[in-house]
């Protein structure tokens, strides 16, 4: 809104940030843990008076310097460059809030460079004690760099009291700061061991190779074990919404967690195997496995951390599209176009509707969605939605799917975006006022109640309630729970909602929804997947199996929310699916 957008339709910036960030942390964490590894291994060589270990340390230092100083340093700058292009508003916020944190980190970067140069170029030419001190200085500077960057990164996940007081230190020492420091420190020591394997695998001397592989293996395994409780602590201290996402509400985090768990086990297994075996060729192969698994583990963590703050870029403060949460209400009233700087149109007309929709897409959706690209393709995501369904979905997008930011703007702007998605991208006709979905009560429930509690939460609480009791309760919700606002709606709406709620536990009282399977599918399923996915999955399934599956969708896929429709709705949906997939009745 405040900035232009780097718009390459098929190429989304989010993926670029993730790729650069994962590659960078894989080297930058090594730059920290590897510093300790170097100085400790040198100490081991001095104590044991073992020249072969000392030669290993020198060789490893050269590799360390070339990798961390050049690639590590420049990919760090790359992250800065990438985020300033992809999310300039958030970058500006981070720079302005933490400028002296960054500046202090720059000083430590300078100390690291000097220390590493001195350490490498004076190998064997300086007395051991001073050389060791230089090594310790390097490690201390590198670890403090990690300390500073962690504070700033964690600010984005949970800005804590900063949101109210804007104080540098409140933003830096947030609740997730300490678990993050421990986790990242263990990660860095783990990576030091992994890279130790790498250098060791090229050693010709069998005895030294075995010695250094076992030594490095201890670094990997001990750090890996310690990283697990640190990770658990990190997860436990997340804000509620973020923890819910991490615990299964977000499909992308679920995938990342699977990768992380698999990588963790593979890494441990490969490291143990390496320590037990001593074949040069096998060492190289297993080292490659270790490196890939380590990247998988660290990558899964970074991916989760990035995805977990959604729909925000700074949790509870700034949305992924750069809009501040505090401005949303005002912009909704005044209109997005009026407040946006980088738009061509200030008013929506019939003639420019699609162009405005495209501009709104660029500013509000493109931060996460590509157009026809590999990552999160908006065309695929919306191909099954009608204009009506799209408008309804956009109006409550954040409520329906927490990790999506709300659409920000007025009603005509929302229509323009819906029109662009449906007609502009999916080439469908814009038919307004299509027959309303059969279950109006559900629709009203989704609009008014689901932001705080879904039907699944409510269903067990109203078991045995008559329709009349529910209807009466709707008249005075605050009497049920003082925290709940009253539902101020016409009596007809309340009737519809009470009918729907009663239907959650009573099949016989549901509204007639036969022949509505298609509509129900569009309303409830197409936001995440089209029918093609269902068809490929359920093709040939008997109806009874489909119907049973609809009772517990999360069993089919943990990332999928359970369908909270009534039994009759599920019947209608099952009939529709079976008809379309050609399954046995």
Stretch that binds other proteins, among 85-93, 229-237, 444-452, 569-577 (CB under 8 A): 85-93
Which of 234, 72, 259, 257 shows the shortest CA–CA distance to 154? 234
In the complex, what is the shortest distance from the CB of residue 464 to other proteins, in angstroms, rounded to a whole number? 56
For other proteins, the closer of residues 344 and 539 by Cβ is 344
Are 227 and 194 in contact by the 8 Å Cβ rule? The answer is no
- In angstroms, rounded to a whole number, what is the distance separating the alpha carbons of residues 204 and 200? 9
Quick one: which segment of 103-111, 394-402, 481-489, 551-559 binds other proteins (CB under 8 A)? 103-111
Q: Which of 38, 53, 115, 267 binds other proteins (CB under 8 A)?
A: 115
Q: Are 561 and 455 in contact (CB under 8 A)?
A: no
Q: Is 110 in the site for other proteins (CB under 8 A)?
A: yes
What tokens were used for 409?
């703007």
> Considering only residues 99, 480, 491, 492, which one is a binding residue for other proteins as defined by CB under 8 A?
99
Which part of the chain contacts other proteins (CB under 8 A), choosing from 96-104, 260-268, 293-301, 368-376? 96-104
For the segment 119-138, give every residue that binds other proteins (CB under 8 A): 122, 125-127, 130, 134, 137
Q: Give residue for tokens 């549901």.
A: 510
Per rule CB under 8 A, is residue 28 in the interface with other proteins?
Answer: no
Task: Please report the DSSP string for 534-578 in residue order.
Answer: HHHHHTT--HHHHHHHHH-HHHH-TTSPPP---HHHHHHHHHHHH
Query: CB–CB of 437/443 below 8 Å?
Result: yes
**Whose Cβ is closer to other proteins: residue 198's or residue 504's?**
198
**By the rule CB under 8 A, 118 interacts with other proteins:** yes
Asked whether 186 and 226 are in contact (CB, 8 A), the reply is: yes
Identify the CA nearest to 83 among candidates 29, 14, 146, 28.
14
Residues 6+ apart with CB under 8 A from 104: 148
Q: At closest approach, how far in Å is the CB of 344 from other proteins?
A: 6
Q: What are phi and psi of 484, to 5 degrees?
A: -95, 130
Pairing of the two strands 318-319 and 312-314:
antiparallel
Q: How far is the CB of 79 from other proteins (least distance, A)?
A: 10
- To the nearest whole angstrom, how small is the minimum distance from the Cβ of residue 353 to other proteins? 18
Task: Tell me which residues in 355-374 interact with other proteins (CB under 8 A).
Answer: 362
Q: What are phi and psi of 324, to 5 degrees?
A: -75, 140
Which DSSP category does 325 fall into? G
* Residue among 15, 46, 55, 113 that touches other proteins (CB under 8 A): 113
Q: Which is nearer to other proteins, 36 or 293 (CB)?
A: 36
Please tell me the distance from the alpha carbon of residue 66 to that of residue 60, in angstroms, as a whole number.
10
**CA–CA gap between residue 192 and residue 356 (Å, rounded):** 51
Question: Distance (Å, rounded) from C-alpha 413 to C-alpha 577?
Answer: 34
**Using the rule CB under 8 A, is 55 a contact of other proteins?**
no
- Residue with Cβ nearer other proteins (127 or 240): 127
Encoded one letter per residue, x for contact with other proteins by CB under 8 A and - for no contact, window 162-191 reads ----xxxx----------------------
The phi-psi region of residue 375 (left if phi > 0; otherwise alpha if psi is between -120 and 50; otherwise beta) is beta
108 touches other proteins (CB under 8 A): yes
Q: Could you give the string, one character per residue 330-359, with x where binding to other proteins holds by CB under 8 A and - elsewhere?
A: -----------xx-x---------------
Residue 320 binds other proteins, judged by CB under 8 A? no
Select from 28, 75, 176, 216 the one that contacts other proteins (CB under 8 A).
Answer: 75
Q: CB within 8 A of 534, min separation 6: which ones?
A: 525, 577, 580, 581
- Rule CB under 8 A: is residue 70 a binding residue for other proteins? yes
For the segment 495-514, give every residue that binds other proteins (CB under 8 A): none
| By CB under 8 A, residue 7 contacts other proteins | yes
Residue 106 in contact with other proteins, rule: CB under 8 A: yes
Stretch that binds other proteins, among 88-96, 328-336, 379-387, 442-450 (CB under 8 A): 88-96
Residue 313 backbone dihedrals phi, psi, to 5 degrees: -100, -30
Contact status: 436 vs other proteins (CB under 8 A): no
Q: Alpha helices, DSSP H only, in 314-454?
A: 328-334, 336-339, 353-364, 378-382, 387-395, 397-400, 411-419, 440-448
DSSP line for 242-281: HHHIIIII-HHHHHHHHHHHHHHHHHHHHHHHHHH---HH
Region near other proteins per CB under 8 A, out of 69-77, 201-209, 216-224, 237-245: 69-77
Is 152 one of the binding residues for other proteins (CB under 8 A)?
Answer: no
Q: First-to-last CA distance in the chain?
A: 52
Is residue 5 within the footprint of other proteins (CB under 8 A)? yes
Nearer to other proteins, 21 or 572 (CB): 21
- For other proteins, how many residues bind (rule: CB under 8 A)? 61
In angstroms, rounded to a whole number, what is the distance separating the alpha carbons of residues 61 and 47?
A: 19
Chain length of the chain: 585
The one among 46, 50, 55, 84 contacting other proteins by CB under 8 A: 84
Contact positions vs other proteins (CB under 8 A): 2-8, 66, 69-71, 73-75, 77-78, 81-82, 84-85, 88, 91-93, 95-104, 106-111, 113-115, 117-118, 122, 125-127, 130, 134, 137, 141, 166-169, 341-342, 344, 362
């Amino acid at each position: 809104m405040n900035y232009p957008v780097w718009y390459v339709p098929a190429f989304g910036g989010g993926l670029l940030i993730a790729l650069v960030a994962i590659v960078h942390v894989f080297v930058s964490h090594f730059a920290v843990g590897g510093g300790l590894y170097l100085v400790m291994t040198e100490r081991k060589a001095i104590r044991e008076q073992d020249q072969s270990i000392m030669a290993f340390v020198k060789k490893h230092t050269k590799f360390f310097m070339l990798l961390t100083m050049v690639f590590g340093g420049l990919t760090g700058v790359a992250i800065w460059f990438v985020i300033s292009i992809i999310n300039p508003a958030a970058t500006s916020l981070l720079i302005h809030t933490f400028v002296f944190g960054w500046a202090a980190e720059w000083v430590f970067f300078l100390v690291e460079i000097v220390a590493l140069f001195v350490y490498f170029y004076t190998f064997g030419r300086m007395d051991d004690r001073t050389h060791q001190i230089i090594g310790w200085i390097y490690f201390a500077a590198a670890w403090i760099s990690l300390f500073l960057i962690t504070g700033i990164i964690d600010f984005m996940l949970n800005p804590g009291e900063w949101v109210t007081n804007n104080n540098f230190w409140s933003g830096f020492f947030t609740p997730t700061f300490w678990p993050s420091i421990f986790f990242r420190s263990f990660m860095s020591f783990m990576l030091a061991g992994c890279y130790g394997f790498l250098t060791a695998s090229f050693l010709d001397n069998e005895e030294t190779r075995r010695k250094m592989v076992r030594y490095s293996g201890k670094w990997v395994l001990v750090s890996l074990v310690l990283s697990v409780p640190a990770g658990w602590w990190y997860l436990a201290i997340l804000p509620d919404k973020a923890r819910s996402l991490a615990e299964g509400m977000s499909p992308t985090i679920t995938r990342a967690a699977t990768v992380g768990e698999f990588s963790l086990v593979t890494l441990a297994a490969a490291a143990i195997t390496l320590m037990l075996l001593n074949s040069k060729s096998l060492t190289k192969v297993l080292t490659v496995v270790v490196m890939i698994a380590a990247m998988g583990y660290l990558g899964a963590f970074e991916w989760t951390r990035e995805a977990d703050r959604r729909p925000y870029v700074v949790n509870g403060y700034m949305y992924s599209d750069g809009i501040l949460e505090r401005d949303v209400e005002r912009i909704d009233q005044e209109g997005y176009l009026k407040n946006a700087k980088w738009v061509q149109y200030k008013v929506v007309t019939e003639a420019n509707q699609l162009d405005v929709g495209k501009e709104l897409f660029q500013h509000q959706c493109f931060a996460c969605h590509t157009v026809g690209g590999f990552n999160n393709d908006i065309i695929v995501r919306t191909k099954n939605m009608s204009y009506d369904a799209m408008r309804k979905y956009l109006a409550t997008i954040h409520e329906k799917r927490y990790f999506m930011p709300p659409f920000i703007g007025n009603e005509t702007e929302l229509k323009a975006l819906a029109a662009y998605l449906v007609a502009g991208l999916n080439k469908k006709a814009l038919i307004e006022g299509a027959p309303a979905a059969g279950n109006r009560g559900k629709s009203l429930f989704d609009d008014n109640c689901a932001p705080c509690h879904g039907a699944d939460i409510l269903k067990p609480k109203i078991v045995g309630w008559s329709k009349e009791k529910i209807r009466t309760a709707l008249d005075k919700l605050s009497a049920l729970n003082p925290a709940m606002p009253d539902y101020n709606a016409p009596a007809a709406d309340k009737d519809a909602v009470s009918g729907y709620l009663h239907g959650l536990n009573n099949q016989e009282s549901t509204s007639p929804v036969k022949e509505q399977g298609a509509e129900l599918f569009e309303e409830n399923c197409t936001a995440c997947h089209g029918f093609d996915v269902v068809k490929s999955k359920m093709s040939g399934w008997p109806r009874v199996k489909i119907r049973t599956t609809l009772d517990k969708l999360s069993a089919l896929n943990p990332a999928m929310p359970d369908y909270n429709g009534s039994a009759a709705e599920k019947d209608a949906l099952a009939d529709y699916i079976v008809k379309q997939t050609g399954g046995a009745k």
